[in-house]
């Protein structure tokens, strides 16, 4: 992610896009994070411009999910050490993740559904849809926001993951 030089005109443009996002009903905390991150990282700025220029709602939703991913990446302070995963193990890991997300989704549906969760967590609904629709490894930060919104302890959500 490349840092960028921020000009007053660029700041105003980002704030205008933020105001447009607010009119479209995106969470204020998401918009504030997007604008703040775009002040420093060109990729978020580019995505916000794409979002503003896009007319198709489903494409805008995908861009919002991409922006959220970049916000999460840019805000990560600690270095995460990766472990080596053999190619042969990927299918089993994906199934395990899928079962975990499906189980968590059932709990979310019992407690009001994805739209309600989006309101509780300030995670945009398109980002939550992408999260639950993929077999990608869940981000710790996302899991903690969901756990807090569902009134689950970190231990409970970690226990669910180990099943």
Asked if residues 8 and 99 have their Cβ atoms less than 8 Å apart, the reply is no
Alpha carbons within 13 angstroms on the beta-carbon side of residue 145 total: 17
pLDDT, tens only, 89-146: 556 666 778 888 888 888 899 989 999 999 998 888 888 888 888 877 777 778 888 8
pLDDT, tens only, 64-88: 988 988 888 777 665 545 445 555 6
Domains and CATH numbers, the chain: 8-75 (no CATH), 87-162 (1.10.260.40)
For the full predicted model, state whether its pTM sits above 0.85. no
Residue 122 and residue 132: Cα distance in Å, rounded? 16
Residue length of the chain: 163
């Amino acid at each position: 992610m490349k840092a960028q030089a921020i000009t007053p005109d660029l700041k105003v443009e980002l704030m205008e896009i933020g105001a447009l996002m607010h009119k479209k009903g995106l969470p204020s905390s998401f918009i504030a994070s997007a604008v703040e991150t775009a002040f420093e990282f060109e990729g978020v700025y580019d995505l916000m411009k794409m979002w503003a220029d896009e007319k198709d709602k489903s494409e805008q939703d995908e861009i919002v999910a991409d922006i959220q991913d970049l916000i999460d990446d840019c805000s990560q302070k600690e270095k995460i050490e990766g472990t080596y995963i053999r190619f042969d193990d990927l299918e089993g890991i994906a199934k395990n993740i899928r079962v975990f997300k499906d189980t968590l989704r059932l709990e979310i549906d019992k407690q009001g559904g994805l739209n309600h969760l989006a309101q509780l967590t300030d995670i945009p609904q398109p980002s939550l849809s992408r999260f639950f629709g993929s077999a990608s490894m869940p981000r710790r930060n996302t899991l903690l926001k969901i756990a807090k919104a569902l009134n689950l302890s970190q231990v409970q959500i970690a226990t669910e993951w180990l099943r």
